Amino acid sequence: MKAAQIGSFGAPDVLRVTETDRPSPGPDEVLVAVEASSVNGHDTIVRAGGLKMVSGRAFPIGVGLDFAGVVVTTGTDVRGYRAGDRVWGTVHPRGRHTVAGAAEYVVVSADRISPAPVGVSAVEAASLVVAGSTALIALRDSVRLADGERVLVRGAAGGVGTAAVQLARAMGGHVTALARDRHAAVLRDLGADEVLDYGTTTSEEIGPFDVIVDTVGAELHCYRSRLAKGGRMVTVGLSAPALAAIAASSIHGSRRIRTFSANPGSAALDELADHVTSGALRPVVHRVYPLADIAAAHEAFERGGVLGKHVLAVSG
């Protein structure tokens, strides 16, 4: 089978699509024929060597945090799934994988998958797995968005951002999206009440907000100052400056900057699928690449400026 792997850490050109043995599921695992996988920040950090403590240094290392596809076979202890079921899910972000989601087949624990939402293609489903679950966990668990609160989504045109705009609206928030002006019409269509051009709008000109969802990871202290009394801020754009700002904000009580590591299991994916099925959450796909062009997909992801997700069409 074909699988995207790296044989060394580095730029996107270290990615290779190679032939390798098809994995077999253990007693509590499921073998999935992958139809699509998206490109996420976690994937590019692993490839560049930023998570060596997790991935290890034994090559090859598989890439691809998420997937959508079809169950091929299940382990002896797995209940609730059978061959032919359409599913979506993630590999464990803290695992060491020689084969991950960007491959023709992947083996994962059964508690890391869920029935894929109906009415969307595998490519569309894959675009929502990590981005949607990250936005859901940020809004539901990290900042506990309440009905009627004022929400700023910073970096609103990206994968997590487009999902956060929609989910915040579905939860009753009044949503302000901060993104490139050329994406304004789409963001309004997704549910943003206001769209601000980040190229011309400074942090001092906006707010206050009850909730800020940040996907950028820079100038966090400037945006934290735009929180209303009792406001909450969460960032998913981690960097060394971001970590320093998070630590420094700990003295501010409820107005500290929160972060988390999204690691969705079946329950979160079930809830996410409900939002998709209800129409509250729609996929936004920037571009689809064949698996063989995964290096180009990583390059495009790192350039930024996207609307939605870069997705790999693996099969199907």
pLDDT tens digits along 174-232: 999 999 999 999 999 999 999 999 889 988 889 899 999 999 988 898 899 999 999 99
Both 148 and 212 in a single domain? Answer: yes
Question: How confident is the model at residue 316, as a pLDDT?
Answer: 60
Q: Could you give phi then psi for residue 46, rounded to 5 degrees?
A: -60, -45
Question: How confident is the model at residue 259, as a pLDDT?
Answer: 79
Question: How confident is the model at residue 3, as a pLDDT?
Answer: 98
**Rounded mean pLDDT of the chain?**
93
Which helix or strand (DSSP H or E) is residue 312 part of?
strand 309-313
Both 215 and 285 in a single domain? Answer: no
Both 156 and 240 in a single domain? Answer: yes
Question: How confident is the model at residue 44, as a pLDDT?
Answer: 94
Asked which of 233, 258, 283 is the last residue of a domain, the reply is 258
Both 108 and 213 in a single domain? Answer: no
The mean pLDDT value for 303-314 works out to 95
Q: How far apart are CA 90 and CA 68, in angstroms?
A: 9
Question: How confident is the model at residue 56, as a pLDDT?
Answer: 77
Q: How far apart are CA 197 and CA 157, in angstroms?
A: 11
Both 116 and 144 in a single domain? Answer: no
| Cβ atoms < 10 Å from Cβ of 300 | 18
Question: How confident is the model at residue 51, as a pLDDT?
Answer: 83
Asked which of 227, 258, 289 is the last residue of a domain, the reply is 258
In the structure encoding, which two tokens stand for residue 136, read together? 């859901």
Question: What string of DSSP letters covers 43-109?
Answer: HHHHHHTTTHHHH-S-S-EE--SEEEEEEEEE-TT--S--TT-EEEEE--TTS--SS-SSBSEEEEE
Q: How far apart are CA 51 and CA 94, in angstroms?
A: 9
Instruction: Assess whether pLDDT exceeds 90 at residue 123.
Output: yes
Instruction: Assess whether pLDDT exceeds 80 at residue 244.
Output: no
CATH number for the domain harbouring residue 58: 3.90.180.10
Asked which of 258, 274, 297 is the last residue of a domain, the reply is 258
Q: How far apart are CA 255 and CA 206, in angstroms?
A: 17
CB within 8 Å of 243: residues ≥ 6 apart: none
Instruction: Assess whether pLDDT exceeds 90 at residue 246.
Output: no
Both 9 and 115 in a single domain? Answer: yes
Instruction: Assess whether pLDDT exceeds 60 at residue 64.
Output: yes
Both 244 and 208 in a single domain? Answer: yes
How deeply is 234 buried, as exposed, middle or buried, from its count of CB atoms within 10 A (0-12, 13-18, 19+)? buried
pTM above 0.85, yes or no: yes
CA proximity to 255, closest of 192, 194, 209, 191: 209
Both 20 and 84 in a single domain? Answer: yes
Instruction: Assess whether pLDDT exceeds 90 at residue 257.
Output: no
In the structure encoding, which two tokens stand for residue 224, read together? 């934290």
Band the pLDDT of 55: cuts 50, 70, 90: confident
Q: How far apart are CA 174 and CA 146, in angstroms?
A: 10
Domain that holds residue 163: 129-258
DSSP label of 300: H
The mean pLDDT value for 23-43 works out to 97
Question: How confident is the model at residue 300, as a pLDDT?
Answer: 97
Question: How confident is the model at residue 253, as a pLDDT?
Answer: 59
CATH number for the domain harbouring residue 184: 3.40.50.720
Instruction: Assess whether pLDDT exceeds 80 at residue 247.
Output: no
Both 139 and 79 in a single domain? Answer: no
Helix and strand totals (H; E) in the chain: 9, 16
Band the pLDDT of 240: cuts 50, 70, 90: low
Q: How far apart are CA 68 and CA 241, in angstroms?
A: 34
Question: How confident is the model at residue 108, as a pLDDT?
Answer: 98
The mean pLDDT value for 110-138 works out to 97
Both 48 and 63 in a single domain? Answer: yes
Structure confidence by residue, pLDDT tens digits, 88-116: 999 998 888 999 999 999 999 999 999 99
Number of domains present in the structure of the chain: 2
Structure confidence by residue, pLDDT tens digits, 138-189: 999 999 999 999 999 999 999 999 999 999 999 999 999 999 999 999 999 9
Between 298 and 257, the more confident residue is 298
Both 167 and 89 in a single domain? Answer: no
Both 120 and 267 in a single domain? Answer: yes
